[in-house]
Every structure is written in structure tokens, then in C-alpha cells.
Copies of this chain bind each other. A is one copy, B any other.
Amino acid sequence: MPQITPTNQTRVVRGAKRANYDRDTLHAIIDAALICHVAQILPGNRPLVTPTAHWREGNWLYWHGLSSARNVAATQAQPVSINICLLDGLVMARSAFHHSINYRSATLFGTPEPVTDPAEKTRQLEIFLDKVSPERWPQLRPINDSELKATGLVRMAIDEASAKMRNGPPVDDEADHDWPVWAGVIPVQSQWGSPEPDQYCTDKGLDHPRLPGSA
């Protein structure tokens, strides 16, 4: 289904015109970001939010960590909320009130489940590495059993989710249009810098890794 049905949790109330429940839109935001924020409830009823790298295959969001990490070990079968937010620009209006940001944000709710099959874990880690650096996986020293055991992997269905986005110029009060201050958008751009080879690369003539289009 191309559209996700909004629930009481995902229906965007504030700024509803900026809301979007289209799967392709959600997937594009998820794929464009390297880092998501996972919120969970700890024993004692305290919230915890952890930044973590994520990737996607089909309608599943994946993340990994040390098997014992709280956002891996303690999220399984527990409700979580996940946000992915890409900052695109500063919206500079003629009044403080109408300042805003341009962004793409996806908020997901769900209950993660572990992925434990070693072959599937390996396949997923390759998908993750492909997201960061296409075709790098086969060039690496192969993963071994103890590394695979130390890596915890969880996934969550992208079923209860909404996107919220803003783009375009400021929306000032009409009466302010002649106010003598610059107004418009300052784009924010994330880019890869020059690759910095480590000390063991010396004189080996190795090409630096391929990267996706943007950081």
C-alpha cells in the first residue's frame, strides 16, 4: 500500500498541512539519513533517547549495536518511538514568530524484534554497509563468528509512521512584507570532506571508498 493509515499516534495535529503518510516519502527520508533517534522507556518509567545508525530493507527499519546495548537488548518487544530528521535550511522571516526551519522528518512507532539468524544478520550488515559505501563489503576482511555474536541486530516494521516536512520561503504577515530586513532561506548542506587515509594505507595505491551522493 502506498499510503500508511494514520493512527492516533501518527496523525499530525500541529501543522497538519505539512504531514505526509506516503510510503515512498517516508522511505526516502529514512534512506537519506544515517542517524535516527530511538526513544524507549527504561525500568522505573524513565524515557531514554539514543542516537544510532539505521538502514532499511523494504518495509523494515534496522539498527544494530553491541548485543548488550540498551537500545538493542532492551527494546525488543517493548514500544519505541523513532525519529529521523534532516535539516534543510533556516527560514528567516521579518518577525521572530515566523522564523522556521526547512526539514524532512519521519516519526515511527512500533515494537522492535531481534534478528538472530547468523546468515540473515550477515546479509543485513552488508545491506547497511552498502548504504554507507556501495560495494565495499566484498573488499573487507570477512566477518567472523565472534564478531557476529557480539553484534545485536533488531528490526521494526514501518507500519505506524508519519512524515512532516517544510520547504520554501518564509510566510510573513502581509503587513510585514515591506519591513526593511532580509528574509528568505539559508540552505544547510551536508557534504563529505576529503577522505583521510589512516597510517597503514601508505604507498598501497588504494582507492578511497565509494560514498552515497550526499552526507
Instruction: Using CB atoms and an 8 Å cutoff, list the residues of chain A in contact with chain B.
Output: 9, 14, 34-35, 37-42, 45-51, 53, 65-66, 68-69, 79-83, 85, 87, 89-90, 92-97, 99, 101, 103, 105, 107, 109, 125-126, 129, 132-133, 136-137, 139-143, 147, 150-151, 169-170, 172-173, 176-201, 204, 206-209, 211, 215
With a 10 A CB-CB cut-off, give which of A47, A50, A87, A196 has the most chain B CB atoms: A47
Residue of B nearest to A40 (CB): B47
Residues of B within 8 A of A196 (CB): 169, 184-187
Q: Indicate how many identical chains form the complex.
A: 2
Given A47-B81, A198-B170 in contact, is the A151-B97 Cβ separation under 8 Å?
A: yes
Q: Are A193 and B182 in contact (CB under 8 A)?
A: no
CA A69 to CA B14, docked complex, whole Å: 7
CA A194 to CA B136, docked complex, whole Å: 34
CA A105 to CA B35, docked complex, whole Å: 12
Residue of B nearest to A105 (CB): B51
Q: Are A47 and B79 in contact (CB under 8 A)?
A: yes
CA A177 to CA B197, docked complex, whole Å: 12
Given A129-B99, A191-B191, A192-B187 in contact, is the A181-B47 Cβ separation under 8 Å?
A: no
Q: Are A209 and B192 in contact (CB under 8 A)?
A: no
* B45, B184, B191, B206: the one within 8 Å of A201 (CB): B184
Q: Are B45 and A107 in contact (CB under 8 A)?
A: no
Chain B nearest Cβ from A144, distance in angstroms: 8
Residues of B within 8 A of A151 (CB): 97
Q: Are A201 and B186 in contact (CB under 8 A)?
A: no
CA A161 to CA B1, docked complex, whole Å: 42
Residues of B within 8 A of A69 (CB): 14
Chain B nearest Cβ from A114, distance in angstroms: 18
* B68, B90, B200: the one within 8 Å of A177 (CB): B200
Q: Are B181 and A139 in contact (CB under 8 A)?
A: yes
* B35, B80, B90, B141: the one within 8 Å of A47 (CB): B80
A-B pairs with beta carbons under 8 Å apart, 11 shown:
A37-B51, A45-B79, A90-B133, A92-B209, A95-B141, A97-B151, A141-B179, A182-B206, A183-B201, A186-B195, A188-B192
